[in-house]
Amino acid sequence: MGNAASSGNDDSSKTQNESIINLSDHCLEKLTNENKEVSDTSDDKQSALESPSDGEWMLKLKGLDQTHSNTNGITVEKIYKMIESIYQELEEMRPVICSADEVIYCLKKHPQKMIMCKATMDAYIDCIDTHRINIIKEQIDCKLREKNKEEQNIIEKFLQN
């Protein structure tokens, strides 16, 4: 969308790329037409008052987006790769205790007769409930151990005095 104008034409140097000024076609057209005489000033005022169409705005936004992406190195592909890597990390962190694969397979096999999958669903629910109960037991045991340590410390301090 925009044209690049710079003092040098060598794009291999990073410092020269940073000094490149990006100008839109509209700006370049205004700059080049500045020396030309305009016969009717009322046409200029009217064209200045007209707003760009939606298509022109979309082109401008697309150009800004591309410039931003090139400047910051963020592209749609990189975003999708980041999202995928985050999902992979979460999957690695999340323990697979009870697999729902059998339930899903059964439900796909019997889409109109879900009652046929009741035993499989019950087994899955029991597995989840057992895991939840075990987590709660571990939390309670941890709290009891901490409380016992505190009581033991109080008793030791009392006996030392």
pLDDT in tens, 57-116: 888 888 888 888 777 777 778 889 999 999 888 877 777 788 889 999 999 999 999 999
Tokens of 57: 């705005």
CA torsion sign for 83, 87, 92, 94 is positive
The tokens of 61 are what?
A: 């936004």
pLDDT at residue 2 in the model: 47
pLDDT tens digits along 126-157: 999 999 999 999 999 999 999 999 999 999 88
**What's the pLDDT score for residue 77?**
83
Section 16-29 average pLDDT: 62
* CA distance linking residue 21 with residue 27, whole number of Å: 12
The reported pTM is 0.39
- Identify whether the C-beta of residue 97 lies closer than 8 Å to the C-beta of residue 124: no
CB 1 within 8 A of CB 63: yes
Please give the Cα distance from 6 to 93 (Å, whole number): 51
User: Measured between alpha carbons, how far is 52 from 59 in angstroms, rounded to an integer?
Assistant: 11
Paired tokens of 112: 């109109």
Residue 128: predicted pLDDT:
92
pLDDT at 39: 45
